[in-house]
Amino acid sequence: MVGRKWSLLLSLVFVLGFVDQSMAAYTLDYFFVQHRVYEDGRNLNRIAFGIKNARGQYVATDQLKSVTLTDPLGHAVPLTKADLKFAKYSELDGEYDGKSGVFLYGKWYTASNYWGEVPGRLVIGTYHLSVRYATSVCNMDFNFEGAVKLPVTAVSSIESSVDGYGNLTATWDVPMDLCRTKPTLQTSVRAYIDVYQDAAWKGELYVRIPTHMGRLFVPKVLVDRLRSTGNKYYMAIQLRTNNNCNRTYSLSKRISLAVGGEDSGIAGEEFAEGGER
């Protein structure tokens, strides 16, 4: 009987230990390296990745211990934890549904990511990322298919207004030259609105839109949510190849979410980024 009790006790300890290890596990949700061009003239290579816990949530704190990036030739890229930044923020994703002709939006969620610049030039092929976060070692590959020259949307072409019902509509110039010069290139646009409370970044609305559509619609209920999240709003346009190897960014434009309000001009460089995914 005593032996049986000891056996049950040891089994319970094993199960609890297994559950504890499982709950402590972390995984890479996404990872990429890409070439970027900004309207302000910046031209750089970027790495970004997101980490989730065992419950499928983005991590809330920076517990990154180390990072190793290996290029397609097997060479270690000179990148360390000190070269990366960490951010936690709120995000609401949306997209335009071409079948129904309406904009679809999800729910607000808490996101986080790491990002930084990749030194040197990017090599075509598979990059391997290995990170140690807390007690977990996470690995993921990304296939960089090469740099492609993409047009940059002019921030001066962004116009927005809120109608009498409280809905936001925004438009911008579409890159017609891209359609003529690279008709088979698979691209899409991300229209995003960053929300700040004074100088503190609180989150963003991030919407996937067909490249040559040039229009965003945000219903009143979401406009009200943006207004309740912060007091400053900056809109920008990101154009990307769908393999996520290339992006271009407009500068950001401060917009008004008040009925009949007016846009307030181009923002500084600190508001020119947007989401990493």
Rounded percentage of the chain residues whose pLDDT exceeds 90:
81
Shared domain check, 128 and 21: yes
10 and 119 fall within a common domain: yes
Q: Are residues 226 and 255 in the same domain?
A: yes
Mean pLDDT of 173-181: 85
In a domain, 101, yes or no: no
Q: What is the residue range of 16's domain? A: 2-88+110-144
Q: Are residues 76 and 120 in the same domain?
A: yes
Look at residue 274 and tell me whether its pLDDT is greater than 50. Answer: no
Task: List pLDDT tens digits, range 45-70.
Answer: 999 999 999 999 999 999 999 999 99
Instruction: Spell out the residues 6+ positions from residue 148 whose beta carbon is closer than 8 angstroms to its own.
Output: 35, 182, 185, 241, 245, 246
Please write the tens of the pLDDT for every residue from 84-107. Answer: 999 999 999 999 999 999 999 999
Number of domains the chain is built from: 2
Better-predicted residue by pLDDT, 254 or 271: 254
**Looking at this protein, which amino acid is placed at residue 1?**
M
Query: pLDDT-based confidence at 176, cuts 50/70/90?
Result: confident
Taking the CA of residue 155 as centre, how many other CA atoms within 13 Å lie in the half-sphere pointing to its CB?
24
> Quick one: pLDDT band at residue 4, thresholds 50, 70, 90?
low
In a domain, 104, yes or no: no
Is the pLDDT at 41 greater than 80? The verdict is yes
Task: Please indicate, yes or no, if residue 256 is contained in any of the structural domains.
Answer: yes
* Residue 96 belongs to some domain of the structure: no
**Do 219 and 249 fall within a single domain?**
yes
| pLDDT for 76 beyond 90 | yes
Instruction: Provide the pLDDT confidence category of residue 270 given band limits of 50, 70 and 90.
Output: very low
**Which of 97, 122, 144 marks a domain boundary?**
144
Say yes or no: 133 and 172 in one domain.
no
If pLDDT is split at 50, 70 and 90, which confidence band does 1 have?
low
Closest to 153 in 3D by CA, of 180, 172, 179, 178: 172
Q: What is the CATH number of the domain that holds 228?
A: 2.60.40.10
If asked whether residues 58 and 26 sit together in one domain, one would say yes
pLDDT tens, position by position, 101-148: 999 999 999 999 999 999 999 999 999 999 999 999 999 999 999 999
Residues 114 and 180 reside in one and the same domain = no
CATH of residue 21's domain is 2.60.40
pLDDT at 105: 98
Contact (Cβ atoms closer than 8 angstroms) between residue 124 and residue 144:
yes
Backbone angles phi, psi at 11, to 5 degrees: -65, -40
Say if 105 falls within a structural domain: no
One domain, residues 74 and 6 = yes
The answer on 194 and 129 residing in a single domain is no
Is residue 238 domain-shared with residue 159, that is, in the same domain?
A: yes
Q: Are residues 171 and 48 in the same domain?
A: no
| Domain end (from 100, 121, 144) | 144
Does the pLDDT at position 16 exceed 60? no
Q: Distances in Å between the alpha carbon of 197 and those of 56, 218, 228?
A: 28, 20, 10
Confirm whether 103 is domain-assigned: no
- DSSP for 181-197, please give it: H-TT--EEEEEEEEEEE
